[in-house]
Chain A
Amino acid sequence: MQLKGKDLLGLAEMTAEEIDLILDTAARMKEIISRPIKKVPALRGRTVVNVFYEPSTRTRVSFELAAKYLSADSINISASASSVAKGESLKDTARTIEALGADVVVLRHPLAGAAHLLAKTINAAVVNAGDGAHEHPTQALLDIFTVKEKKGILKGVKVAIIGDILHSRVARSNIWGFFKMGANVVVCGPATVIPPEVERLGVRVYHRIEEAVCEADVIMMLRIQLERQKAGLFPSLREYSRLYCLNEERLSLAKPDALIMHPGPVNRGVEISPEMVEHPRSVINEQVTNGVAVRMAILYLLTERGG
C-alpha cells in the first residue's frame, strides 16, 4: 500500500484507502511526538521547502516541526501575496527551489490550482498547504484523524461544518474527506456563502445552525473573514454572530459527547463563544498537535522515491 500520486494536492482525488494509510501512519507518528526525544532519522538528508505566499504561522510551523522530527532539513521561503499579483512567476520560483535540491515542496498560495501548477512543473513532491478557496488537504486529514481518534470510527459520524463554506478550502477538503470515510456531512451558513450545487458533493445544506448541529457528533466552526462583510455577503458581523455563533444553547442540541472543532485562528465571540473554545469537549488544541503527526505521515509517505 502506498500513495498513488507523487503529490498531495487535495482530498478530491484521494481514495479512502489512501486516507486510511495516512491516518494509520499518523498514529505511529503521534507516538514519536509523545517521546522525550522527538526525533527519528527517517528523512535524514531530505530537504523540505515551505513556500508560503500567504502568512500562516500555524500551518507553516506545523510542517516545519514535522520535517524536523523526521530529521529532514527544512527551509522556509515567504513571498507576499502581492508578489503573486505582480505576476512573479510561480513556475520560476519552483524551478529555483527544485534546482536547490528540494525533495518536498509545501505550498501555501492565495490562488486555487497553484499547487496543481507547481506539481506539473517540478519533479519534487508537492504538498498543498492551502490554495485559494480550493483545498487544504492536510488540515482536513488532521481533522479526520482527530475525529477518528476520539470517536473510534468515521462511518456514520455526523459532522456539521458551519460558516463561510463558499470561501473555505478547509470546508471543501473536509467535505471530500469525511464523505469518503463514510461520515454524514452537513454544511450550514448564510445562503450567500453556500456554494452552488454543493449537495452534489454528498452533503446536506442548512441555513439554521440549530438544525445543522442537531444530533451532531462533530461541530466544526469556520473562521469568518471580515472582508466577506465588506464584499456584501452578509450584513454585519453582529447579525452573523447572532445567527451562527456556537454557544452553550446550540451545543446542547448536538450529541452529549459532540466534539467542538475549529481550524483556527479563532474569532472569539464571532463564530464561536469564548466558553466554547475552552469547553471540555473542544479539541481545538489537539487538532494542532495532531496536525504535526499527520504532516509527518505525509512527508514520510511522499518522500519515497529512491534518492
Chain B
Amino acid sequence: MNEKDLRQKAQILDAEGIRRALVRIAHEIVERNKGTENLALIGIQRRGVPLARRLSACIKEIEGSSVPIGILDITLYRDDLTTLSHQPLLQKTDVPFPVENKKIVLVDDVIYTGRTVRAALDAVIDLGRPKLIQLAVLIDRGHRELPIRADYVGKNVPTSRREVVAVRLMETDGEEKVLILEKKTNA
C-alpha cells in the first residue's frame, strides 16, 4: 500500500512510550524464562531486527549477561507467494547460533493476522528443533486469522481492517513513533 494514499489518524506511542514498552517486555522475558540461560532472540525482518537488538541490550542491563541475536527473513515461507504480482526481495537470514534446544523469542513490530509469525515458526523449525518458541511484539492490533498469540505485548491497539499500524524506528525510518494511518476516502 502506498503511504501517499494514507492519512495519519492518531499517534499511539512516542519514543518514550516505545522505550518503556521494551523495558517492560525485557523484564517479562527474563522473569518468564527464569534468567537468560539458553535464551536467544530472533528478529523478523525488517523492524523486528532493531527491536530484538534493543531487547537484548535491555536484558543485558537487567541481568548483566547478553543474549544472542539472530535475523530471520520469512519471505520464502510466506503463504501468499503464488498470489503476489512479483516476488518480494529477499533479505538476509543470519542466525549465528544453533537453535537446537534453545529458548527462542521471536521479535516483530506488529502482530496482525498471524501469518508472518506462522511463517517465522516454520523458518525457525527448519533451522533446528528449539526447546520452545515465544513471541514478543511491540503492537498487537487484533484480527488474527490463525490460532496464534503473542507472549509479550508492548501495547494492545484495537483497530479496524481499513487502518494501518505504522511503527517507525530510528534504525529503519529515522524517527521514533507508532502511528495509526487510515486510507483516504476518495469521494
Contact = CB atoms under 8 A, between A and B. Distances in A.
Given a CB threshold of 8 Å, the question of whether A touches B is answered with yes
Nearest to A296: B76
15 contacts: A2-B87, A24-B90, A28-B73, A28-B92, A28-B93, A31-B93, A37-B126, A41-B77, A42-B78, A43-B81, A300-B90, A304-B84, A304-B85, A305-B85, A306-B85
Max chain A C-beta neighbours (<10 A), residue from B75, B77, B82, B89: B82
A34 to B, nearest CB: 10
B86 interface: yes
Contact of A304 (B73, B76, B87, B90): B87
A31 B87 contact: no
Interface string B101-135: 00000000000000000000011001110000000
B91 A42 contact: no
A155 B75 CA distance: 30
Interface of B: 73, 75-78, 81-87, 89-94, 122-123, 126-128
Given A2-B87, A31-B94, A40-B76, 5 more contacts: A2-B86, A24-B90, A40-B77, A41-B76, A303-B87
B90 A35 contact: no
Max chain A C-beta neighbours (<10 A), residue from B73, B81, B86, B123: B81
Contacts of A43: 81
Contacts of A265: none
A103 B75 CA distance: 20
A287 B27 CA distance: 48
Contacts of B76: 32, 40-42, 70, 300
A85 interface: no
Please classify how large the interface on chain A is, using the bins under 10, 10 to 19, 20 to 34, 35 or more. 20 to 34
Nearest to B79: A41
A307 B90 contact: no
A36 B128 contact: yes
Interface string A20-55: 010011001101100111011111011000000000
A306 B94 CA distance: 29
Nearest to B92: A28
Given A37-B127, A307-B82, A28 B87 contact: no
A70 B75 CA distance: 12
A289 B113 CA distance: 38
Nearest to B91: A28
A58 B127 CA distance: 28
A239 B31 CA distance: 77
A21 B128 CA distance: 29
Q: Which A-B residue pairs are the 7 nearest by beta carbons?
A: A42-B76, A28-B90, A40-B76, A307-B82, A304-B86, A2-B86, A304-B87
Contact of B77 (A21, A42, A46): A42
A43 B75 CA distance: 11
A2 B90 CA distance: 11
Contacts of B86: 2, 304-305
Contacts of B94: 31
A297 to B, nearest CB: 8
A301 interface: yes
Max chain B C-beta neighbours (<10 A), residue from A24, A42, A46, A70: A42
